[in-house]
Amino acid sequence: MTSTVGGPRDDEAIRRSQRRRAVFASTVGTTIEWYDFFLYGTAAALVFPKLFFPGEDPYVGILLAFGTQFAGFAARPIGAAIFGHYGDRIGRKSTLIITLLLMGIGTALIGVLPAYAAIGLAAPILLTILRIVQGVAVGGEWGGSVLLAMEWGHAKQRGLMASWPQLGVPLGLLISTGLVQLMSATTGPAFLTWGWRVPFLASLVLVGVGLYVRLRVLESPEFAEVKAKQTVVKMPVVDAFRTQWREILTSAFVRLSEQAPFYLFVTFVLTYGTQQLKLGRTGLLNDTLVAAAVGLVSVPFFGWLSDKIGRKMMYGIGIVCTALFAFPYFGLLNTRVAGLVLLAIVISLVFHDMQYGPQAALIAESFGTNIRYSGAGIGYQLASVIAGGPAPLIAAYILKNTGSSTGIAWYIVICCVLAMIALVLMPRRASSVDAGSVRAAVQQG
């Protein structure tokens, strides 16, 4: 006996097809966004201090370059609020197309920006503005990408489904670091003049691919159901702060143990390794590539594992491991032995992935569907102001004033303690996707 159109079998077939498309579109989009964002971080460590912040003291240039990087982090909650509003009002899909375009254009413009020697003070000012554009774009990207994938998935697989867009981090890191490495090796001394610009300009090609993929995805079934039931909130950002302020705050602070160490592990390590330990740039970039490649397996694995043992349990294990590894991490780096340096970088990102894999579902599940884009996005991106943005600046300041990594390791431990407190206090809620919401998504698609 065959089912009629719109029956259970049709719903399940549509769900499977759209689940694959949603996961692929979300992952491709976040990969491009994080490619652009990490590309800036790598350039801030290796290129921008010399070209945009020249001076007698190299550490001043480093601090200024990381300062512009922080501007992008500070802009991320703003992007989360702006695009969260529209994502909860008009839908996840339309909003994600705008964030992708904004990020691609901002990144490409950095690739053609004249250096300080050509236009003086205007160069670092324009660089900072474009970094803010990047921050606004990536601030609006995360919530929509995660929700599009998670809300098409089964209730018992939310950890795995929401972890796929998280792959954008290791993929973006892998592609951006790999392209910088390629241009560094092929252009040699010309890398500082024009070679570094090629990866930024390549963003336009990636954006074209991302747009093609995203335009073929239907709206998420849960948001389609919200529209069908006419429960769309007029001011979702205001409502999120009014009704779920505790969830927003704990979502931000729970990321202290993941985001602050992460930007030390992938960005500051380039400065620490080349300036303090006199290690080669090529070797450090290669080590980062290996660690990013491992993340392609570890991120979805720990997302899947969180479906089995619980989101909070998995995340808590990651917090503890990161705290315990803070001092051994720098101890391994300080040996200057190639194999041990590689081991430090790889292990640090595996412990990061223990948190990053389940993190998207952990945060998103804390909010109601009609304010989820706003609430989850703002909570997630507020961590950029208290964790990711300040981390390289704090580490550079500690190193400058102490000449030692001990204070930086203690900083990582403190972040982990605060994150564990937030995890314990974090509220939880359950949600599900039913057949009616799938049909609503098709009708509105």
- Count other C-beta atoms under 10 Å from residue 310's C-beta: 15
Nearest to 396 by CA among 301, 292, 299, 270: 270
Any residues with CB less than 8 A from the CB of 116 and at least 6 apart, and which? 51, 52, 53, 54, 123, 124
For 86-111, what is the mean pLDDT? Answer: 87
CA atoms within 13 A on the CB side of 101: 9
* 392 close to 263: Cβ distance less than 8 angstroms: yes
Which residue reads 């350039």 in tokens? 43
For 6-19, what is the mean pLDDT? Answer: 66
For the chain, the distance separating the N- and C-terminal CA atoms, rounded to the nearest angstrom, is 28
Comparing 27-41, 83-97, 174-188, 394-408, the range with the smallest average pLDDT is 27-41
Measured between alpha carbons, how far is 388 from 263 in angstroms, rounded to an integer?
6
What's the whole-number average pLDDT of the chain? 85
The rounded percent of the chain whose pLDDT value lies above 90 is: 34
Q: What is the helix (H) or strand (E) element at residue 268, kind and residue range?
A: none
The residue ranking higher by pLDDT, 45 or 202, is 202
pLDDT at 367: 86
pLDDT-derived band at 7, boundaries 50, 70, 90 = low
Q: Which two tokens stand for residue 96?
A: 């994600």
Which tens digits make up the pLDDT trace of 299-338?
Answer: 999 999 999 999 999 999 999 999 999 999 999 999 999 9
Measured between alpha carbons, how far is 341 from 330 in angstroms, rounded to an integer?
9
Comparing 47-51, 165-169, 225-229, 412-416, the range with the smallest average pLDDT is 225-229
Nearest to 223 by CA among 17, 22, 79: 22
pLDDT at 5: 42
Which tens digits make up the pLDDT trace of 342-389?
Answer: 999 999 999 999 999 999 889 988 888 788 889 988 998 898 888 887
Nearest to 253 by CA among 315, 178, 184: 315
DSSP letter (8 states) at residue 387: I
Which tens digits make up the pLDDT trace of 191-207?
Answer: 988 999 999 999 888 88
Q: Which amino acid is at 163?
A: S
Any residues with CB less than 8 A from the CB of 5 and at least 6 apart, and which? none
Any residues with CB less than 8 A from the CB of 238 and at least 6 apart, and which? none
Measured between alpha carbons, how far is 120 from 118 in angstroms, rounded to an integer?
6
Q: Which two tokens stand for residue 137?
A: 């774009």
Measured between alpha carbons, how far is 84 from 414 in angstroms, rounded to an integer?
30
pLDDT at 341: 92
DSSP letter (8 states) at residue 234: S
pLDDT at 249: 94
Q: Which two tokens stand for residue 314?
A: 């998995």
What domains does the chain contain, in order, with CATH numbers? 12-219+244-437 (1.20.1250.20)
